[in-house]
């Protein structure tokens, strides 16, 4: 069975959380891994079942009532997670921002980047709150380390967006078609007139 980054995200959260229902897992993903590894809502329910079929998770189902399933890491799952986490091979980072795509397509950057500045400012405050909650807890050292990276990243983005918004407020000219074509590096990308 091929494991994806999402598979390892689920294994990691269950390793930290302990046995959990898919709902518990989804809630934990939203306040942790989701901040740097987006996972579709439905995947939080489907991936544990897939990992259980591969023997990486155990599953117990309530015999009556809501018949919820409770997933936990198996020894094989914990080994797979540790092997992956200790490896040095990484995929390149990805940036997926619809606002940047719209700007590339010709949208006015000012309102988009002002909106992004508000969003990233809020996200920075959220991550700083999470960081404060885990500071001083040795058992949360890896969570704290990932939060430090997240806080640093959000600070960089907030600073860059704030700088752009400030400079755009004093200048009325948007990037020209010629400057866009020049920024493509090879000069092969040019706007049609």
pLDDT of residue 38: 85
Number of neighbouring beta carbons within 10 Å of residue 84: 15
pLDDT for 145: 93
Is 90 part of any domain? no
- Cα distances (Å, whole numbers) of residue 11 to 23, 24, 91, 144: 15, 13, 18, 18
Q: Is residue 60 one of the residues assigned to a domain?
A: yes
Kind and range of the H or E run holding 167:
helix 141-170
40 assigned to some structural domain: yes
Flag whether 185 is in a domain. Answer: no
In CATH, what number is assigned to the domain containing residue 73?
1.10.10.10
User: Is 192 within the bounds of a domain?
Assistant: no
In a domain, 164, yes or no: yes
Nearest to 69, CA basis, from 81, 85, 83, 53:
53
Q: Which residues of the chain have pLDDT under 70?
A: 171-193
| pLDDT computed for residue 32 by the predictor | 86
Q: Which domain holds residue 136?
A: 98-173
**In a shared domain, residues 60 and 112:** no
The residue written with tokens 């040095």 in the block is: 88
Q: How many domains does the chain have?
A: 2
pLDDT at position 46 is 92
Residue 45 and residue 70 in one domain: yes
């Amino acid at each position: 069975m091929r494991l994806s980054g999402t598979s390892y995200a689920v294994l990691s959260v269950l390793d930290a959380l302990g046995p959990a229902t898919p709902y518990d897992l989804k809630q934990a993903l939203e306040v942790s891994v989701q901040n740097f590894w987006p996972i579709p809502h439905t995947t939080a329910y489907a991936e544990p079942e897939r990992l259980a079929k591969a023997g990486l998770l155990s599953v117990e189902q309530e015999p009556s009532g809501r018949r919820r399933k409770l997933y936990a890491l198996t020894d094989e799952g914990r080994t797979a997670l540790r092997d992956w986490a200790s490896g040095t091979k990484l995929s390149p980072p990805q940036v997926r921002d619809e606002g940047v795509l719209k700007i590339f397509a010709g949208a006015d950057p000012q309102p988009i980047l002002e909106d992004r500045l508000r969003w990233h400012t809020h996200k920075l405050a959220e991550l700083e709150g999470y960081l404060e909650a885990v500071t001083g807890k040795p058992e949360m050292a890896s969570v704290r380390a990932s939060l430090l990276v997240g806080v640093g990243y959000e600070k960089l983005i907030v600073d860059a967006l704030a700088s752009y918004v400030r400079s755009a407020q004093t200048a009325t000219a948007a990037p020209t078609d010629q400057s866009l074509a020049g920024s493509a590096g090879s000069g092969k990308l040019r706007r049609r007139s």
